[in-house]
Amino acid sequence: MTRIGFAYNQKPEQSGLIGTEATAHAGTVDDGELSRLQEEPPGSGSDEFAEWDSRETIDAVAAALSALGEVIFLEANEDFPELLRDAKPDIVFNIAEGRYGVNREAHVPAICEFHGIPYSGSDPLTLSLCLDKARAKETLSHHGIPTARFAVVRELSEIARASKALQLPLFVKPVHEGSSKGITERNFCRTAAELEAQVAFLLSSYDQPVIVEEYLPGAEFTCAVLGNGRTATVLPIVGMNFASLPEGALPIYGFEAKWIWDRPENPLQMFDCPAHIDPALARAIERVTLDAYRVLGCRDWSRIDVRLDAGGEPNVVEVNPLPGILPDPADNSCFPKAARAAGMSYDELIQSCLRLAATRQRVPLGRQLRKVRTVSKTAPRPRAARSRDSDGPAAGDTVANRLSA
């Protein structure tokens, strides 16, 4: 029987909830909290745990994995090294975003490597590289992969230099964040004064350098990739429907669009999948996506964001080796959406990633009756699996089979 360690970080507001109560609360924000998020900009604490996963996602992933072996919950907190050593899993399925530091996404894989335990996804170098937006773009540029021109600002005195080297309008971001942390409409800077004000805010709020990029005015897409080497496959491209944003909103998929405007009771029709684009553009987007995936050393799966420049050329915006995987089709989660469009259920998506990792490292996977075991005291209790992908196409003969063959 294959022992599958499951490494994750759970949103702290979920950690004290169990059973159906946790499911009811997962991914929701009450009116008071919504009001606070609208009033307090990211950086004031409202987005601190945006990268971590809800109880609902953790349960759904565990249920999918349990078809391939015994699942052992390994919450990626300060006890993780000891938990991993005691559990001795055959392979670790990793979705942990990490806790602290610029290399936080690399911590779980690095600890697995230290103990000689196989794991899913990219290695520590790739995870650290992709979380550093500037280093990732330097690597892409070196290999001739299109990406917007940029500069890095580490202190206020460098703003003038960046402004002179680049052409307005500009877009700014914290250099070491994900899940749209620190990215709001105010990051779009039309003037030098706006640039100085927002860079100063981000420097003080996030205590890290700020990347300043020339704004790409074209359409935006996100591409889910499954596989390794020459067999890596781009799933149906997801197109951003910025027309669904509130009137007057900028064409930016940032913190407001992800966590404030897109509500379960009034969801945004934010994505078109497959994207409504001509085949030539689709091929160009797929080509630049796979080039970035391979150059940065991604493994098993990643999500890559692409935006067109003024001339219609696809540019890589960011590479996400730990993609978001919300299980509910009602949620705007791009990787599962692309998988459903490819004919894969949520369970098949998760299982495909694990199979890719297991094949790459020669770890046998065995079928069994669903079984989940808890190691961490704070790990969630298992609950009965239920399909969350009933509106997707029937699966079994498309991408999932090709990747796991």
Contact 136, 213 (CB under 8 A): no
What CA–CA distance (Å, rounded) separates 210 from 186? 14
What CA–CA distance (Å, rounded) separates 130 from 128? 6
Closest CA to 368 of 52, 160, 97, 66: 66
Instruction: Note the pLDDT tens digit of each residue in 153-187.
Output: 999 999 998 888 999 999 999 998 865 677 888 99
pLDDT class of 265 with cuts at 50, 70, 90 = confident
According to DSSP, residue 278 is labeled: -
Strands (DSSP E) found in 133-207: 150-153, 170-174, 188-189
Cα-atom radius of gyration of the chain, to the nearest Å? 20
Q: Which amino acid is at 158?
A: E
Instruction: Note the pLDDT tens digit of each residue in 142-153.
Output: 999 999 999 999
pLDDT class of 330 with cuts at 50, 70, 90 = confident
* Complete DSSP assignment for 100-129: SSTTGGGHHHHHHHHTT--BSS--HHHHHH
Q: Which residues of 294-311 are buried (b: 16+ CB within 10 A; e: fewer)?
A: bbbbbbbbbbbbbbbbee
What interhelical angle do 133-142 and 279-295 show, nearest 10? Answer: 110
Closest CA to 7 of 131, 101, 102, 115: 115
Cβ neighbours for 91, distance < 8 A, ≥ 6 positions apart: 2, 3, 4, 5, 117, 118, 119, 120, 354, 357, 358, 361, 363
**SS3 of 277, please?**
coil
pTM of the model: 0.82
C-alpha distances in Å from residue 235, one per residue of 53, 103, 238, 304, 335: 23, 28, 9, 11, 9
Which of the residue ranges 60-74, 259-273, 302-316 would you say has the lowest mean pLDDT? Answer: 259-273
- Who has greater pLDDT, 217 or 24? 217
Average pLDDT for 44-72: 84
Cβ neighbours for 363, distance < 8 A, ≥ 6 positions apart: 2, 90, 91, 118, 357
What CA–CA distance (Å, rounded) separates 90 from 288? 35
Instruction: Note the pLDDT tens digit of each residue in 233-252.
Output: 999 999 999 988 988 888 88
- Who has greater pLDDT, 27 or 325? 325
Average pLDDT for 108-128: 98
User: Boundaries of CATH 3.30.1490.20 in the chain?
Assistant: 149-214
Q: Which amino acid is at 39?
A: E
Helix ranges (DSSP H) in 171-314: 192-206, 255-256, 279-295
pLDDT of 26 strictly over 90: no
Q: Which residues of 240-265 are buried (b: 16+ CB within 10 A; e: fewer)?
A: bbbebbeeeebbbbbbbbbbbbbeee
Give the chain's mean pLDDT: 84
Q: Which CATH architecture has domain 149-214?
A: 2-Layer Sandwich (3.30)
Q: Which amino acid is at 121?
A: G
Contact 187, 203 (CB under 8 A): no
- Who has greater pLDDT, 373 or 176? 176
Phi (first) and psi of residue 250, to 5 degrees: -75, 150
Host H or E run for residue 332? none
Cβ neighbours for 50, distance < 8 A, ≥ 6 positions apart: 179, 180, 181, 255, 259
